[in-house]
Every structure is written in structure tokens, then in C-alpha cells.
Amino acid sequence: MTTASGPTRLATVLWWPLGVALVAWRYTWRTTPLHRTEETGTAEDLPGFADDVPGGRNQGIADGVGPLLHRTYSILIVGSSMTAPELLEVVADGLNRASPEMAVFHKTRGQRGPVRLGDELVVRMPGPWDGPVRVTGKDSTSFRLSTLGGHLEAGHIEFRTTDVDGGVLFEIESWCRAGDRLSDLLYNRVGFAKEVQLNMWTHFCVRTAALAGGRHRGGVTIRTRRLDWTPAEFESRRRTGRAR
């Protein structure tokens, strides 16, 4: 078990306003092309794995509020000597090297080093809240974080690398609903939190390309599919074994 010390927590709090301002400035002056699409989702946008995770305190999709947002961020990295598994390990061992300044990862359970199955982390972001998550999936080219109680969102996010012709494809895929009614207002009514999240993960993609020692080709592609939540449909899909 590891926990953030008092000075570390204080430094994080003091860094929040500057981090938000810096990321907002980068967003305004960003030269990286962003290719965005928003579509109506279907039952195929539901994740192909269990929503309830072992260990208790999970805050799965079914615990959320409002529609399900299935989002994918992808970037093609060229000019890197790293393979997909090598890049994934670099990301897993240095989340804060890829994350923008407004979001700081602290491991609260597990050994030092790369994220491992069962580890727990807190993502500290601007405002009076934290984002607790647990590592619920890990292999040589991907790892998945699932939200725990108290997170602004309810769901899962997966980081994935794939060797492709000419480079490595890095993807972040999330299946989330708002964690409560206030979050639903910020994400789906006002839209502010949704844009902050988009900025955060596109920046993560660009920084990952830099960590790989390469460059991105064609910018970042962001695909958002919105699905009105239908618990019966989710359960039906799970029972019939239509998992990917």
C-alpha cells in the first residue's frame, strides 16, 4: 500500500489552477489536428466484459446517471523504435509523464512501478473531488481502469497499443456514464466536463507519441457514440454472451 504524503497532496492542490490554465492555453493554441465525430450509439457500444468488478466499492456503468458515452481516442505514432508491448509498458510505468498537468495519478494500493492488476489509483483533478479507480484488466498491449465509489464517472477506460503497418496505434477507449446528477449536468447538459475530458485524453495521446520517441501522423481521431441507458438491453446482451 502506498499513499500520497501531505506535502504531495498540498503540491497537487496548489498546482491545479496553474495546470488548468496551462492546458486551456494549449487547447486554444493547439496545432494538432483533431478529427471529431458524434453519433447515436447502439447495443454494440456496450462493453464486452463484466460491469461489476471484484474487490468491492466498484462504481460500474449500471450505477451511473444519464446516457452512456462510448468514446475512442486514437493516434498513429510513426518514427518510433518501440513495439506495441514496449510502448504500453512505458505508459503503464509513467502515467503522469503522459497525463496533462491538470490530472495527477497517485497509486494508493499496490507496489511501486507499472500499474498491475488489482492496483488502485486516485486521479486528482481541479475541484474538490478525486477520481478513484482500480486496474481490472492488464495484458502485454492493454490495461483497463474501472471507477470506484466517489468518481465523477461510472464505468471503464482502456489504454491499448497495436503494431500496425508503419508504426504503433495508440488508443484510449471508454464506456462511461455520469457518476451522479451533478456530473450529468456538467457532462451532458452544460457540456463543460465533457470538453475538459476530451482535452485531457487528446493531450494524453499526443504526449504518448512523444514518450515513444516518435511523432504522430494525421492528428488525433475522437469518436463519440451516445447511447440512452437501457439496463434490460445490457443484461440481455450479457446473458446471451455477446461479449467481444
| CB-side neighbour CA atoms (13 Å) of 77 | 27
Q: By the 8 A CB rule, do 138 and 144 touch?
A: yes
Q: H or E stretch including 128?
A: none
Over the chain (244 residues), the average pLDDT of each successive run of 10 is 44 48 54 89 89 84 91 96 97 91 86 92 71 94 94 93 96 92 69 71 93 94 90 59 44
The pLDDT value recorded for residue 234 is 63
Q: What is the pLDDT of residue 242?
A: 47
Q: Which three cell numbers stand for residue 162?
A: 497495436
- Specify which residues 54 forms β-bridges with: none
Which pLDDT score, from 0 to 100, does residue 43 have?
87
Q: What is the pLDDT of residue 91?
A: 97
Q: Do residues 77 and 214 lie in contact, with contact meaning Cβ atoms separated by under 8 Å?
A: yes
pTM (two decimals): 0.82
- Spell out the alpha helix ranges (H) of the chain: 6-28, 84-93, 95-98, 181-184, 192-211, 231-239
Domain boundaries, the chain: 6-237
Q: How many Cβ atoms sit within 10 Å of the Cβ of residue 29?
A: 7
Provide the phi-psi class of 31: left if phi over 0, else alpha when psi is between -120 and 50, else beta: alpha
In this structure, the number of other CB atoms found within 10 A of the CB of residue 210 comes to: 14
pLDDT of residue 24: 56
User: What is residue 235's predicted lDDT score, i.e. its pLDDT?
Assistant: 60
Residue 41, sorted as left (phi over 0), alpha (psi -120 to 50) or beta, turns out to be beta
**Per-residue confidence (pLDDT) for residue 189, from 0 to 100:** 67
Instruction: Return the pLDDT at 20.
Output: 52
Beta-ladder partners of 161: 170
What are the residues whose beta carbons fall under 8 Å from the beta carbon of 115, sequence distance 6 or more? 92, 93, 95, 107, 121, 135, 138, 143
Query: How far apart, in whole angstroms, are the C-alpha atoms of residue 229 and residue 215?
Result: 38
**Quick one: pLDDT at residue 157?**
96
pLDDT at 175: 96
Matching CATH number, 6-237, of 3.20.20.70, 3.40.1410.10, 3.30.530.20, 3.40.50.620: 3.30.530.20
